[in-house]
Amino acid sequence: MDIPLNIHVKLTDVIPTAHREKIIGGGWRNREPERLMLEFTWGGTLDRIPKLKIVFTEVDAGWVPFFTEQVDNRYHRLNTAGKFGLTMPPSAYFEHHFYYAFITDAYGIRNRDAIGIDRMMWSDDFPHLGGDWSYTQRTLAQHFAAVPKDERDLMLAGNVTRLYRLPDLT
């Protein structure tokens, strides 16, 4: 499989029914991306399909370094005699196979080196509440103010252009 697989994580199924109307605009974040990363990794999918690239859409990225650290920690402590059956630590799978699309994630942008600048992609979700419209330009200016131009260009367009093999329009 030489094309990216996009997964738009659905948030509403994990919100208790009694509280759904209280959660405005996707303020609830769940563990769906993390669960899927573990399933793809431990289930052997990424070893069977080594070219598979998976894009998690609208999940932000600031959580990635902590999650990766915790999973690797458990892998190294508990993988006695190779019982997990992985060919490399989880972080290596994560770095090779997963990409993260974010809308507003100042924390993730500040921690881009730990996430992987080449795996972060800005997105918007116009016209619904999950998007940042009509504040997009202001948000981008604030979030990317201290980011070098080459890194900003990667996160705003370059990574998408490369991953989806689109023509470079810059």
Number of domain units in the chain? 1
- The CATH number of residue 135's host domain is 3.20.20.140
pLDDT of residue 145: 97
In this structure, is residue 169 part of a structural domain? no
pLDDT of residue 31: 73
Helix axes 64-78, 32-42, angle to 10 degrees: 40
pLDDT of residue 109: 98
In this structure, is residue 156 part of a structural domain? yes
- The beta strand positions in 18-140, using DSSP E, are 54-57, 98-102, 120-122
In this structure, is residue 168 part of a structural domain? no
pLDDT of residue 1: 66
Distance of CA 30 to the CA centre of its chain: 13
Residue whose structure tokens are 């060919």: 87
pLDDT tens for the chain, residues 1 to 170: 678 999 987 655 555 555 555 555 555 555 789 989 999 999 999 999 999 999 999 889 999 999 999 999 999 999 887 888 899 999 999 999 999 999 999 999 999 999 999 999 999 877 777 778 888 999 999 999 999 999 999 999 999 999 999 998 76
In this structure, is residue 102 part of a structural domain? yes
Q: Domain range spanning residue 143?
A: 5-163
pLDDT of residue 62: 95
Tell if the pTM clears 0.85, that is, is over it.
Answer: yes
In this structure, is residue 30 part of a structural domain? yes
pLDDT of residue 106: 96
In this structure, is residue 170 part of a structural domain? no
In this structure, is residue 29 part of a structural domain? yes
